[in-house]
Amino acid sequence: MQQSILQYLRCPVSQEPLELKIYEENERSYNDETVKEITAGLLSSPNGFIYPIVNGVPRMQMESFLEFGDFIKKHHDNYKDVKSDLQKRFGFIIKQGVKKHRKVKQSFGMEWSIFDYDKDKTWIFGRDERKERFLKEINANTEDLKGKFSIDVGCGNGVLTSAISEFGLISFGIDVSDSIERAYENNTQLNVHYIQADLQNLPFQTQFFDLIYSSGVIHHTNNTELSFSCIAEFIKPAGKLYVWLYHPIDNLKHHALNRLRSFTNKLPLKIQYLLYLIFLVPQALVKARLKGIKRNWREQLINFFDVLSPEFRFEHTIEEVETWYLKREFTKPEVTINEYYGFGLHGTKRTKN
């Protein structure tokens, strides 16, 4: 974490500014600039919540103080008291956070641990292809983006978060899973910041971002419209909100996959890994080869995890999502992507006058 972002971070519970304690810093070079980064530290909120910075990444979920208890204990004299005080005052919401995120973290953590940053494409796109598609998705030219604040909500492997900063954006990426650690390690750009956070409780001031981008994420939460509503709070007036979502597909194969998921997503992850690798990846590789599509075994495996592992995977229509924008004082959204699995659309937040 670069110290410069402290001014933008807020406690996700109370929205208050945070105090920073640095335990360890390292120098890191980006192109021809070298900056100091905090590799270990602690963010404290006036309401008592604490958020550790572990391996360079701020961990800003309500339950992060439990998950990283051993790390905090090493640096904090009265961790035990802080922990019991928080559990006394906020026990219910903390427990809910743990329960809500357990499966999402496991399945997507596993999915992105397979990704090879040197060799793999994300879905079917290389870094530059994704950058190009991004401009189409949000219908912008690069001039519009310079110096603007953007957030990639549910950034996964973080490749896009990093790539789009090359348009001059100050680019934040958040994800609930541990994929955020590899996203941070593999980032090559200075103006990119990764945070582990829940999109339903973002650690920023409301109305902070010029652009909120979220591709293939909010339909994987317990309630897609609730998640849309939560992230929409963080857009500035005249800012753009883009989401890509699955739509219903009416064919036998799709219905069969949806059925299969209700069984596979309950299996232990190691079993899922072996099942997909042994029974599904080989035939998918052959099929792709016959169609002249280049996809390696990891890319295929990630795809199977994405389809068969998530606890939640809701589908929505364009008309339904349009109403979500209109209800929240956005302009009528423009659909920029409409393809086999889903669609992407963006709307602009109305200014008050």
104 binds ligand SAM (CB under 6 A): yes
Residues in the chain: 353
CB of 217 to ligand SAM, least distance (A): 4
Strand 50-54 with 57-58, pairing:
antiparallel
Chain-centroid distance of CA 131 in Å reads 17
- Dihedral angle of Cα 144, 146, 148, 149, to the nearest 10 degrees: 120
Binders in 242-301 for ligand SAM, by CB under 6 A: none
* Residue 146 contacts residue 168 (beta carbons within 8 Å): yes
Stretch that binds ligand SAM, among 176-184, 259-267, 296-304, 322-330 (CB under 6 A): 176-184
Q: Which long-range contacts (CB under 8 A, 24 or more apart) does 196-200 make?
A: 196/57, 196/58, 196/59, 196/60, 196/61, 196/64, 197/12, 197/60, 197/61, 198/12, 198/61, 198/62, 198/97, 198/100, 198/101, 199/153, 199/154, 199/174, 199/227, 199/230, 199/231, 200/226, 200/227, 200/230
216 binds ligand SAM (CB under 6 A): yes
63 binds ligand SAM (CB under 6 A): no
Nearest CA among 202, 205, 243 for reference residue 62: 202
182 binds ligand SAM (CB under 6 A): no
CA distance 277 to 298: 9
CB atoms within 10 A of CB 338: 11
Count of residues interacting with ligand SAM (CB under 6 A): 20
Query: Which residue's CB comes closest to ligand SAM?
Result: 156
Print the binding letters for residues 109-128 with ligand SAM: x by CB under 6 A, - otherwise.
Answer: -------------x------
Question: Which residue lies nearer to ligand SAM by CB, 76 or 172?
Answer: 172
Question: Which residue lies nearer to ligand SAM by CB, 83 or 179?
Answer: 179
Nearest CA among 58, 56, 64 for reference residue 43: 58
Stretch that binds ligand SAM, among 22-30, 42-50, 215-223, 251-259 (CB under 6 A): 215-223
Stretch that binds ligand SAM, among 20-28, 36-44, 183-191, 214-222 (CB under 6 A): 214-222
239 binds ligand SAM (CB under 6 A): no
306 binds ligand SAM (CB under 6 A): yes
CA distance 133 to 125: 9
* One of 176, 232, 307, 345 touching ligand SAM (CB under 6 A): 176
* One of 63, 67, 181, 198 touching ligand SAM (CB under 6 A): 198
Question: Which residue lies nearer to ligand SAM by CB, 76 or 309?
Answer: 309
Q: Give the three-state DSSP class for 61.
A: coil
220 binds ligand SAM (CB under 6 A): yes
Stretch that binds ligand SAM, among 154-162, 181-189, 257-265, 327-335 (CB under 6 A): 154-162
CA distance 181 to 345: 29
The residues of the shown chain that bind ligand SAM, judged by CB under 6 A, are: 104, 108, 122, 154-156, 174-177, 179, 198-200, 215-217, 220-221, 306
